[in-house]
Amino acid sequence: MTRKQSSYPVQPPRDRGTGRAFLLAVLMHVLLGFFLYHGIHWQNSTPAGAEAELWTEVPDTSTPRPVAPPAPVAPAPPQPSEEADIALQQQKRKQQEAARQAQLAEQQRLQQQQQQEAEAKRQQQLAAQQAAQLAAQQKAAKLKQQQEQQAAAAKLKQQQLEAQKKQQQQEEDQKQAQLEAQKKAEADKAAKAKAQADAQAKKMDAERRARIAQMQGLAGGGESAGGNGLAKSGTGSGAGGTAASSGYAEKVQRLVRQHIIWPGSTEGLETVVAVRCAATGTLLNATITRSSGNPQWDAAALRAVQQSDPMPLDKDGKAPSSFTIILRPGG
């Protein structure tokens, strides 16, 4: 995370001793100006002239004397003032050169310092720009990463929803297939049971007629054929079956009549139920061998027989192994 930039412009760090160096430079310039001023003023001053008196002997005009030739005049040696002027001029030139060199050095130093300050400022500005660019790049990269993460999360969520929907659809399809298979199995089972029941009904019908005729002969016509939904019961016809007594049909009739519940129409309904029992009267099996054509009445008749478990015992203390019951609603 980048540091917040200040509103003030960035300045280079101050060098230590800058003030002291500036004061020394000012002092040197003052001293140099002082020496230059006095040097120029001393060179421009007019040297004081020397006065000399020349005394010559007055010739005697009375007697002419021979005139001697003038003595050769030796050249005057250079005056000390000219040497001093030359030395001063040389010193002046040296001072001027030194001042010029010092001024040039100071200018170079100031120029170098300005260049260094400008370079430092440029470096700071460049660093600030690079920091700003880096911060912008990092921010853009972070924003892009967040957007990619959000897009990936949304995509993952969408994929999960689609997978969940697909799984739910598959489960529903499986349930539907199971229901259809179950319905088909139940239909096949019902068709097979109906076929078996029809086949058994045909077989049992002939046996029933024979048993009814036998029971009628034994009972002497004392049993009612139109009791409240219960027909005569036949004798056992399976292996080990024994003939029922004359009053056994009445017992079965009274027991099954208690469980018949039918609020519908009673016209033309007759259902034949084949019953298999243990010797103790426990109901082993009860199936419809001949349907009345009304599934609701058939179910009510079969339910009444199943709710009559256990079946009553005969006079010998045992229940017939198998017999049929003809059920009609009402009476």
pLDDT at 20: 83
Q: Do 129 and 137 contact (CB within 8 A), yes or no?
A: no
What is the share, in percent, of the chain residues with pLDDT greater than 90?
Answer: 16
Q: Say how many domains are in the chain.
A: 1
Q: What is the pLDDT of residues 147-199, one digit of tens each?
A: 999 999 999 999 999 998 888 888 888 888 888 887 888 777 777 766 776 66
Query: Residue 164 to residues 46, 153, 156, 306: CA-CA distances in angstroms?
Result: 120, 16, 12, 47
238 within some domain: yes
Torsion angle, CA of 261/263/267/271, rounded to 10 degrees?
-30
Instruction: Return the axis-axis angle of helices 80-219 and 18-44, rounded to nearest 10°.
Output: 160
Strands 283-290 and 322-327: unpaired
Number of helices followed by number of strands (H, E) in the chain: 4, 3
Tokens of 247: 């009053």
103 within some domain: no
The residue segments making up the domain with residue 221 are: 203-327
What's the length of the chain?
A: 331
Q: What is the pLDDT of residues 194-249, one digit of tens each?
A: 677 666 666 665 565 655 555 544 443 333 333 333 343 333 333 334 567 777 87
Prediction pTM value: 0.31
- DSSP β-bridge partners for residue 327: 271
32 within some domain: no
Q: What is the pLDDT averaged over residues 7-19?
A: 66
Q: Is the peptide bond before 310 cis (omega within 30 degrees of 0)?
A: yes
Q: What is the pLDDT of residues 114-156, one digit of tens each?
A: 999 999 999 999 999 999 999 999 999 999 999 999 999 999 9
Q: Read off the CATH number of the domain in which 312 is found.
A: 3.30.1150.10
